[in-house]
Every structure is written in C-alpha cells, then in structure tokens.
A and B are shown apart, each in its own frame.
Chain A
C-alpha cells in the first residue's frame, strides 16, 4: 500500500487490518512518520525519529501511532506546552494517559502544537508559531488543541490526544471537520498534563470518526492513584470483574428512536453571534435526528449566558496559581541578570510568557487579590453551581443537550488577535459543559461557506457510552465528507 492508502484508514480500521495480518504496524508507523515529517501546517513541534518497539502481542491498539498535544509530559521528549518558558524541556516522566495508551499499543508519533499553556481558541498563541487549518491555510484550526485537530484532519496522524478546559478539544475539532470529545471530569488522569485550570482540565480524543473516539477513550479512562481527582466509571469495577469487559463500548446504534434532544435557546437561536450558516447546519442536523426517531424540543439553561463570565474568573484564577511554578529555578527558561531572587522570578516570567498568558495571569491574580475574592472568585463558584443545576434539571426530561460547537466556522489568521473578548466568545457554547464537568462530543455536521461546522452533544456525567452511540447514529445520517481537509 502507498503512504496515501495507509493513512486513509481510520485508526479502528488500521487496528483491524493489523490484527488480520493484512497490514504491518511498522509500515503504518513509517507512513505516518513520513506524513508528519512532511506536515506544512506547523501542526507538529516534534516527530518521532525512529520506529518504536513493536506493540506487545495482543495489544488492543496493535501499534497504531498517536499524536499527542505538547502539554502532555513525555519522558525524554520535548514537552513545552507551546511556551517559550519551557522551550527544550524534556520531562523525567510520562503522563499517565500517554503511558496507558502506549502500553495498549499506541506508540508516540509526535507532539502537536497548541496555544501556550492551552490558553487560546485559534492556536495563534503558540510560542512556536500558529497552526494552519488544512481546509484553508489562511484560516486558524481553532484551539487550544489546534495542532492535534489539524494533524488528524490533514491525515498526518490517525488520531490524537488533546485537552479541553473550556472547549479546547471540541472547538478545534469543529473548525477542522473531525470528532473531538471531552469526557466527564475526572475519568481520565491528569497526572503529567501540564496544568492550566485544574478543576476544568480534561484529556480527550481527537479522531476521524466516532468509533475511533470510543476506541481511544476506552484505553484512556480509569482511576489513577497519582491523580486524586480521578475516578472510575461508577459501573466500571463490576463490569470489569464480571467479564473482563471494557468500560467504553464501541458504538453501534443506528436509530435514535425515543431519544430526547434538548435544544437550549440560550446557546442556539437565542444567542448573539452564532453565524447563520452554522445555525442552518445545526437545524439540518436536528431534522436528521428527527428522521432517526429522536424527539427534539426546546429546553432552558437560564444561567448559560453567564458561563463565560464565570469561566473567565475561575480559569485565569487557577492558572495564576498553577503558573506560579515557572520561576526559572527547577526547569525551563532562566533569566538571571545578576539580581536577587525576586528579579530572577520576574525576569524569567516576563520574558518567558506570551501576551495571552500574561493577560490571564494578571486577570487571575486580580480576581484572587485581597478585597476582590468574594466579588469575583466566590461569585463565579456559585454561578458554577447554578450552571450544573440547570443541566441536572434539563437531564431530568432530556437524554442530551445539543448545540452548535462553535459560533462560527474557522476564521482568518489574525482576525481576532486584537480583541481578546471576541476571541473568548468562541467558547460560548462549550464552556457551560466544562463548568458542569459533564461529557460532550463535537461531530462534523456539514459545511458553511465551504468550511466545517461542528454539532455538540452533551449528556449527564458518565454518559459517554450513550453519547458515543447517539453521535454514531447521527454521523452515519450526516455522511460528512472529510476528504477536502485531507491534504496528505
């Protein structure tokens, strides 16, 4: 098979072909390494130089390689979180989820570009230059997991790991025409993920289709002793003990008969700033869902319009604390101009952080500073409770909440860089789920102006299997043609 033939297979199809003996895992790795090394979207910050050890016999992912967002620590391999302050940093250990996937048979193909410390919605905040969208190279791939999304969309990686704090998996997946899933908070270990906002950060898959998302997620989830906020799926232990079965099933549903989809007015037609073409694709998908037997009705998330405000208090506050560790002492950049300790810290941080990171550190430091805590952080934590309550109320009468993933299609490079607030609005429809800690997936629903549109499906905590099943049925009905984004 040619490189193009090999890289045209979905990850699940490649696993199956290797298991049938029709495809050699080493050959597949070579094809992807070649494709990744030839990438001209700036999607990669590092590509594996040599072939990995062959996967253990019977390893469920059979040696199908994985692209990993830069902020996952990988032992001996640059892990810079898109930041100059970590330039050249090679960690002494590997993130739990990357190690888990490697032992399941998914070796590291490369590290993907991202917004610095995952702060951004366009990938323009990377210290290593922006990533281009394979559908239109003058446009952004979204962010912050923009390199992972662009690599998967362009076909230079079979699948990729990203992280989602307020939409950083789902929004780039939408803008690049692929599938991206943010699992329930805590179901995937954060150990070894360079932290942005710890109460929101969650790792998840970026893949070509829903089946691949389920297959990758299956080998990511599970409690990790090294992350005390990680949890097992409630039913996991029983099921595993009963049959040695996986917690995440591969989706198979073809109908949506009796499934109740709630359309929150606040995040759809009632919201300002959602493009007409995006709403048209969303409405067309709802029609398809009805055709599959779903019941589509309006619902209310009254506090959702306040989600972005609460998020831009909480996430920068947590970031300002997490990023205090970059001080020029233990790793990364050190600017030591013969001053005292405070000058070492200040010089290092001022030169090492980019503009958006500084802005968020300032915002977070301000809202946590004496006299402002109650008005900002305290209130935002209460808004967060109201948002989670809103979802709980809706899920009493609906199976899922559905919205467009992002308010617009991919925008031009530079279009929003001068206006931070306009950039933040990209996360309008994804932030509420993050604050509530619930799982959500974005699947491509069609094109607007020739560019991909994402459809978001969110469910209650731990409803991953149901979400994947419903997304699978919709994916078949939509029949999205990803070929235009495939540039390899």
Chain B
C-alpha cells in the first residue's frame, strides 16, 4: 500500500533520511498500521462534526500586559551554536 516512492516522499517532508533497510521496513510497517486504520473508512460520518476540543473552552483570553520573558542569554544557553546573540544556522542557500 505504501510503496518505496511514497516512503521517500514522506521522509523528505518530515526531514528524515532513512537507510535502505529503514525504507523497506517502514513501507511494511506503515502499510500494516494503515491497513488497520482504514477501517474507519467504513463508518458513516457525513453528518458528524469534527472534535476540535474535548472540554468546552471558549475564548481563553488573558490581559494583554507586558511582562518579563526569558532573558536572551538564558534562552541561548542550551543552543548548540550561537552567533551575534542569536542561534547560528548554516545558510539556507549554501549547498
């Protein structure tokens, strides 16, 4: 059901690189799980609204007040690479 091409396409979307062995295992395992999941296709759900929230909450608003947030040095402390007070990343254009 989920062939090799589809696995590679979805892996690209998910920013995952799979080994050859992972690709074939993923194809088998996802097909088995989706086969089970597809049973919900048998239900008549046309008139049923989708659940968006299980407990009724409407307009969870808070006052719009300026408050201190995480200081920059603390926010950057866990970053693997930092430059000029920001998170350092390779250029999106490099390649």
Contact = CB atoms under 8 A, between A and B. Distances in A.
Interface string A342-381: 1111110110010100110111011001000001101111
A366 B10 contact: yes
B51 A306 contact: no
9 contacts: A92-B75, A228-B57, A309-B37, A329-B89, A343-B90, A358-B22, A362-B10, A365-B14, A369-B13
B43 A340 contact: no
A385 B50 contact: yes
Contact of B77 (A92, A228, A333): A92
A386 B26 contact: no
Contacts of A308: 36
The interface size bin for chain A is: 35 or more
Contacts of A345: 15
A342 B15 contact: yes
B51 A359 contact: no
A341 B89 contact: yes
Most chain B C-beta atoms within 10 Å of own C-beta, residue among A309, A345, A369, A420: A309
Main secondary structure of the interface of B (DSSP, over half): loop
Main secondary structure of the interface of A (DSSP, over half): helix
Contacts of A327: 15
Nearest to A307: B40
A323 B52 CA distance: 20
B68 interface: no
A313 interface: yes
A481 interface: no
Interface in A380-397: 380-386, 388
B66 interface: no
Given A229-B57, A369-B10, A385-B49, A341 B17 contact: no
A436 to B, nearest CB: 6
Given A186-B57, A340-B90, A341-B89, A381 B50 contact: yes
B36 A365 contact: no
Interface of A: 89-93, 184-186, 199, 225, 228-229, 231, 303, 306, 308-310, 312-313, 320, 324, 327-334, 336, 339-347, 349-350, 353, 355, 358-359, 361-363, 365-366, 369, 375-376, 378-386, 388, 420-421, 424, 435-437, 461
Contacts of A376: 37
B43 A306 contact: yes
Contact of A379 (B32, B45, B79, B92): B45
B84 to A, nearest CB: 15
B29 A346 contact: no
Contacts of B77: 92
A380 B40 CA distance: 7
Contact of A375 (B14, B41, B48): B41
A188 to B, nearest CB: 12
Nearest to B71: A92
A350 to B, nearest CB: 4
